[in-house]
Structure 1
Amino acid sequence: MQLMVFTDLDGTLLDHESYSSADAAPALALLKSLNVPVVLASSKTAAEIAPLQAELGLSEWPAIVENGATTLEPGADTVDDRDAYEALRAALREIPADLRRMFRGFGDMGVDEIMRHTKLDFEAAARAGDRSHSEPGLWSGTDEDEASFLAALATHGVAARRGGRFLTLSFGGTKAGAMAGIITKYQPARTLALGDAPNDTEMLELADFGVIVRNDHGPGIPELPGEKNGSIRRTELAGPAGWNKAVLDVVQELKLQESA
């Protein structure tokens, strides 16, 4: 296995507004022809990821779901254990009310509200609400209040990750941690990781090639040390168009087509 690709979805492989991967189709097709695995890594649930894997022809590979809180095994379509999610909701009930009301998680929303905030259709929004290990939500307070909120959650063992849209709570686990386990299992010669948000940073730094995909709608990623030595680069094009060019560039640099 000469290369394994790890990629975020929203704002990276998928367009921020339309959720389409059409602009990345040439690179996806090339990777498929070269038998290069593409591992999806997202805050999305297993119920969301499995249909997308099938649509993209990636079901033979694992996927990192719920921000690294768990991994979807190849060919599986769900994660049945919801104990961690129920424990997260219980921890939220222990937070002081003045802080708790500033966080509105998916568990506080019905499907209609999830649709409004994500612009997903009803079926997709229902899958997004089918959580097993993490709780994304919207924060409406100040940065100072958020620090107090997170400190209160930490006493219950709950950590938070900031993505492109949501603040996501879990009992730990990161995309990079799950990525490391997959690398150990498959032993690729090189790895490429692509992402657009702060919760992708460790994944980008772990890879041999890290790509920060331009997303004008999110918080972005501050300059990383790897950008100075060339192990991390940024795209000029946004979303899947930027993803496409970056992947094609790396394939060319590694001369994978020639070796094939």
Structure 2
Amino acid sequence: MPRLLVFSDLDGTLLDHTTYSHAAAQPALSALRSRDAVLILASSKTAVEMLPLHQELGLGDAPMIVENGSACQRPTEIDSDPATYNKLRRLLTRLEMPFEGFGDMSTQKVAALTGLSDEGAVRAKTRQFSEPGLWHGTPAQKDAFLAALAREGVTARQGGRFLTLSYGATKAQQMQKIRQQHAPCFTVALGDAPNDAEMIATADIGVIVRNDHGPDMPAIPPEHRIMHTQQEGPKGWNAAMLQILSEWDHDHKGAAAHG
């Protein structure tokens, strides 16, 4: 039987957009554990931000896709080398565009924008690979900014709150590497924002979690199996995963009966 791998965005998906609670998803989280599924957190958050949640959920040695796909780290592999982040910050200084990144903000401003505690905001600012932030310029300036970034090997992905700039891979590319390591496997990916779209489209089943606070998701080709939740955040996450697990149980019990 293939291993079930579940890749999940955090803010607005597994975590409530305002409270950051995952309590509403507890039934599905428990159901995943009972089936020995692997839950891989995939977020624009930093590794040090994600580690407490990873531990709270009891995810063991499961990898985390951090900083919008810039890296994939296991809990025992987290370091604090900021060399790549410092390189990105120097590039932003040189471009002199109206982009306000976390590195330009105080801890208090990051806390106010995100709803995090001051301690959580400090962890959010402890970056290694990417820079989330706010765009304050015109659309024409933004096009020029993105083009200049692309020439330097920097990608930009729009999340539910912030435009995140990064060197390196995407969530979808990190997902593919993990999928190869666990073959044979069956993958589910859940997200709520445009920076999740590639990951959702790459999975065997993709779930777009309703988010009335964020930008619209880009169109995903119809050949992909995509579910849309009726509820937002962890409530929608929970309902979608329970439906998927019900189908999973039915399919694999049927396969065993005919094996």
The TM-score range, normalised by the shorter chain, is over 0.9
Per the alignment, residue 225 of structure 2 pairs with 231
- Alignment map for 1:159-178 (pairs within 5 Å): 159-178=155-174
Distance 1:22 1:257 in 2: 28
Per the alignment, residue 100 of structure 2 pairs with 104
Per the alignment, residue 93 of structure 1 pairs with 93
Per the alignment, residue 216 of structure 2 pairs with 220
Determine which of 241, 245, 253 is the counterpart of 1:247. 241
Distance 2:196 2:129 in 1: 18
Matched, 1:155 2:147: no
Q: Is the 1:198–1:220 contact (alpha carbons within 8 Å) kept by the matching residues of 2?
A: yes
Per the alignment, residue 131 of structure 1 pairs with 127
Aligned-pair identity (%): 51
How far the C-alpha of 1:222 sits from its partner, in A, is 3.2
CA distance 1:237–1:156, change in 2 (3 Å): same
Determine which of 174, 197, 202 is the counterpart of 1:201. 197
Distance 1:13 1:77 in 2: 24
Q: Is the 1:136–1:167 contact (alpha carbons within 8 Å) kept by the matching residues of 2?
A: yes
Give CA-to-partner distance per residue, 1:25-56, whole Å, 9 cap, x none: 00001101111010000000000011110011
Per the alignment, residue 78 of structure 1 pairs with 78
TM-score normalised according to structure 2 size: 0.93
CA distance 1:223–1:156, change in 2 (3 Å): closer
Distance 1:47 1:88 in 2: 19
CA distance 1:256–1:121, change in 2 (3 Å): farther
Q: Which amino acid aligns with 1:173?
A: A
Paired residues in the alignment total 253
Give CA-to-partner distance per residue, 1:105-126, whole Å, 9 cap, x none: 0011121111011110011110
How far the C-alpha of 1:254 sits from its partner, in A, is 1.4
Distance 1:52 1:256 in 2: 31
Q: Is the 1:34–1:257 contact (alpha carbons within 8 Å) kept by the matching residues of 2?
A: no
How far the C-alpha of 1:77 sits from its partner, in A, is 6.5
**Structure 1, gaps ≥5 residues long:** none
Give CA-to-partner distance per residue, 1:165-200, whole Å, 9 cap, x none: 001111131000000111111124211000011111
CA distance 1:257–1:52, change in 2 (3 Å): farther
CA distance 1:84–1:26, change in 2 (3 Å): same
Give the ranges of 4+ consecutive aligned residues of structure 1 lying more than 3 Å apart after TM superposition: 256-260
Matched, 1:44 2:38: no
Distance 2:181 2:10 in 1: 23
Per the alignment, residue 9 of structure 2 pairs with 8
Q: Is the 1:6–1:193 contact (alpha carbons within 8 Å) kept by the matching residues of 2?
A: yes
Determine which of 110, 113, 119 is the counterpart of 2:109. 113
